[in-house]
Amino acid sequence: MKLVIVESPAKAKTINKYLGNDYEVLASFGHVRDLPAKDGSVRPDEDFAMSWNIDGGAKKRIADIVRSVKNADELILATDPDREGEAISWHILEILKEKKALKDQKVKRVVFNAITKSAVTTAMANPRDIDVPLVDAYLARRALDYLVGFNLSPVLWRKLPGSRSAGRVQSVALRIVCDREMEIEKFDPQEYWNITSNFAHAGKQFDARIYALDGKKTDKLDVKTAEHAAQIKAAIENGSAIVSNVEKKPTKRNPYAPFTTSTLQQDASSRLGMAPARTMRVAQRLYEGVDVGGETIGVITYMRTDAVQIAPEAISETRRSIAKRFGDEYLPEKPRFYQTKAKNAQEAHEAIRPTDLFRHPDTLRHIDPEQHKLYELIWRRTLASQMRSAEIARTTADINIEGASPSVALRAVGSVITFPGFLALYGVQSGGKKMMKTIKNCPPLKPVTNQP
């Protein structure tokens, strides 16, 4: 018998179905031990030695793991593929060693980025050891939490009654907020006026903004007073508008990269009205598994990541799905590859994507409404990331006001989508909390005709 340790009971239940009767899967319910809230838990003078304590709720779970591991031939640590997951595996292994529960059992560490049968079985076939540098990173973080937070928090409680705590994150965030507030207080406000003229042509209205005065291009702060603005307004109203130049340029708008944790939270907030904490809870359920045809399957990959790239096989699957649902005209000649712009990004695994790109959101309408909306958002974003760029015709019209003193030039800029590309699936959101309109079964779309 092989014993597998994961974090959550939902994850354990799903994985147990994939592995069969030769495996027992137990859940640790997250972290099993932590630094006690007392002096001496971290000792810098002793090479940052740490004292750990198993909390009351974890003692029973540890006892279950110890009892099961004694009857197991092999221990497989299958916690999440990030720093915290690596730390949980390390903690469990250290506890088992301290309790001398391990005899001749083999100990393996496996990670998978998605909870599907193929991902789990592939991971089981490719075990590794505990990632010591990742554990060291966790230990450094916890030491910093303790040394900063346990010293600062009591000061905060005395000076600011009602305050909760301080630490490595809150303290730095507070510093950034304070620095920004000081910049705001030092800001010297300057008055300026915007001037926009409304025109009509062929039954359609459009706006043109001031572009130049007396032949000199203006910037935002050039019109500083109401009197100057009124003088320009009178010159426009009393003069004759003549279109001096019209220029048309084709431009392209490229699709967004697949979701990282932060971009998922941002778009879920703006498009679905979901708070970041709620977004992560719903994503956790999609990752751990939902009912798909009577079987519990993880429908998205791991949702804590800074990476924007996806696996080559997923790119191929995405392109086939686009060709099937939209037609070859929506598919670029070559696959798109993305690189993160963030420094020190944690790119140990993929961006957030559906585990099966052919699993249309309409097939999951029976699940929780919030889960369905978030899955649809992830599905759209992933497919859109591999679609053709949107093609846009950008028109610039320069309008001179003849007879005006001072001489005034206005500029109007407009765009028309000539080919929607990725915007057909993941358009610009303009409705706040409104979700994008569902494209039923994503039928092939015709290019948008050019409008005057």
325 contact partners, CB below 8 Å, separation of at least 6: 383, 441, 442, 443, 444
- The number of helix segments (H) and strand segments (E) in the chain equals 11, 16
Evaluate whether residue 202 is within a structural domain: yes
- Report if residue 445 sits inside a domain: no
Half-sphere exposure of 85 (CA within 13 A, CB side): 21
Same domain, 400 and 325: no
Is the pLDDT score of 452 beyond 80?
A: no
Phi, psi of 86 (to 5 degrees): -65, -40
User: pLDDT band for position 407 (50/70/90)?
Assistant: confident
- Give the CATH number of the domain where residue 245 resides: 2.70.20.10
Phi-psi region of 215 (alpha: psi -120 to 50; beta: other; left: phi over 0): left
Same domain, 112 and 24: yes
Q: How many whole angstroms separate alpha carbon 301 and alpha carbon 379?
A: 11
Residues 284 and 236 in one domain: no
Q: What is d(CA 361, CA 363) in angstroms, rounded to the nearest whole number?
A: 5
- Is pLDDT at 282 greater than 70 in this prediction? yes
Return the percentage of the chain with pLDDT > 90, whole number: 51
Residue predicted with more confidence, 279 or 153: 279
167, 274: one domain: no
Residue whose C-alpha is closest to residue 88's, from 18, 31, 13: 31
User: Which of 165, 186, 207 finishes a domain?
Assistant: 186
What is the rounded distance in angstroms from the CA atom of residue 262 to the CA atom of residue 448? Answer: 33
Specify whether 6 is located in the same domain as 118.
yes
Using 50, 70 and 90 to split pLDDT, how confident is the model at 429?
A: low
Please identify which of the residues 302, 330, 375, 426 carries the catalytic annotation: 302
Query: Is 302 annotated as catalytic?
Result: yes
Min mean pLDDT across 54-68, 190-204, 253-267, 420-434 is at 420-434
Q: 111: which 2 tokens?
A: 């990670």
264 neighbors 283 (Cβ within 8 angstroms): yes
Whether residue 228 contacts residue 214, with contact meaning beta carbons closer than 8 Å, is answered with no
Decide: pTM greater than 0.85: no
Q: Give pLDDT, residue 434.
A: 35
What's the pLDDT band for 428 if we cut at 50, 70, 90? low
Are 271 and 358 in a shared domain?
yes
- pLDDT at residue number 450: 30
Q: How many residues does the chain have?
A: 452
Query: Is residue 434 domain-resident?
Result: no
Q: Is pLDDT above 90 for 279?
A: yes
Task: Output the pLDDT for position 430.
Answer: 38
Burial grade of 5 (CB within 10 A; 0-12, 13-18, 19 or more): buried
Helices 168-186 and 132-159, axial angle in degrees (round to 10): 60
Structure confidence at residue 346 (pLDDT): 53
pLDDT tens track for 180-211: 999 999 999 899 999 999 998 888 889 999 99
Tokens standing for 213? Answer: 């005065």
Q: Are residues 26 and 79 in the same domain?
A: yes
Q: Is residue 125 part of a domain?
A: yes
State the alpha helices, DSSP H only, in 337-388.
Answer: 369-385
Query: For the segment 358-392, what is each residue's pLDDT rounded down to a tens digit?
Result: 999 999 999 999 999 999 999 999 999 999 999 99
DSSP state at residue 440: T
Confidence band, pLDDT 50/70/90 cuts, at residue 440? very low
- Encode pLDDT of 324-359 as tens digits: 999 999 999 999 999 877 655 555 578 999 999 999
* Neighbouring residues of 95: CB distance < 8 A, sequence distance ≥ 6: 32, 33, 54, 62
Would you state the pLDDT for residue 438?
Answer: 34
Q: In this structure, what token pair is assigned to residue 200?
A: 């009509």
Are 120 and 355 in contact by the 8 Å Cβ rule? The answer is no
State how many domains the chain has: 4
Which structure tokens are listed for 171? 């303290």
**pLDDT mean over 144-161:** 80
Q: What's the pLDDT score for residue 345?
A: 52
Structure-token match 């990541």, residue found: 305
Q: What is the CATH number of the domain that holds 115?
A: 3.40.50.140
Radius of gyration of the chain from Cα atoms? 30
Domain membership of residue 104 as a residue range: 2-130
**Interatomic CA distance for residues 387 and 263, integer angstroms:** 19
Note whether 81 and 226 are same-domain residues.
no
- Surface-to-core class of residue 419, CB atoms within 10 Å of its CB (0-12 exposed, 13-18 middle, 19+ buried): buried
Are β-strands 23-27 and 2-6 bridged in parallel, bridged antiparallel, or unpaired? parallel
Query: Residues 30, 14: one domain?
Result: yes
Q: Give Cα separations from 79 to 29, 93, 110, 236, 240 (angstroms).
A: 10, 12, 8, 69, 73
Give the CATH number of the domain where residue 330 resides.
Answer: 1.10.290.10
Question: Is the confidence at residue 432, as pLDDT, over 50?
Answer: no
Asked whether residue 81 is domain-assigned, the answer is: yes
Please give the structure tokens belonging to residue 123. 């991971």
Q: Are residues 378 and 413 in the same domain?
A: no
Query: 179 in a domain, yes or no?
Result: yes
What value does the mean pLDDT of the chain take? 86
**pLDDT band (50, 70, 90) for residue 441:** very low
Tell me what pLDDT residue 444 has: 35
Is 307 within a domain? Answer: yes
Element (H, E) at 409: strand 408-419
Q: Closest by alpha carbon to 30, among 48, 12, 8?
A: 8
Alpha-carbon distance 85 to 79, whole Å? 5
Task: Classify 47 in phi/psi space as left (phi over 0), alpha (psi -120 to 50) or beta.
Answer: left
User: Do 299 and 377 fall into the same domain?
Assistant: yes
pLDDT per position as a tens digit, 27-56: 998 889 988 877 788 888 898 999 998 887
- The reply to whether 179 and 210 lie within a common domain is no
Counting beta carbons within 10 angstroms of the beta carbon of residue 168, is it exposed (0 to 12), middle (13 to 18) or buried (19 or more)?
middle
**355 contacts: CB under 8 Å, gap ≥ 6:** 114, 115, 116, 119, 297, 298, 299, 300, 301
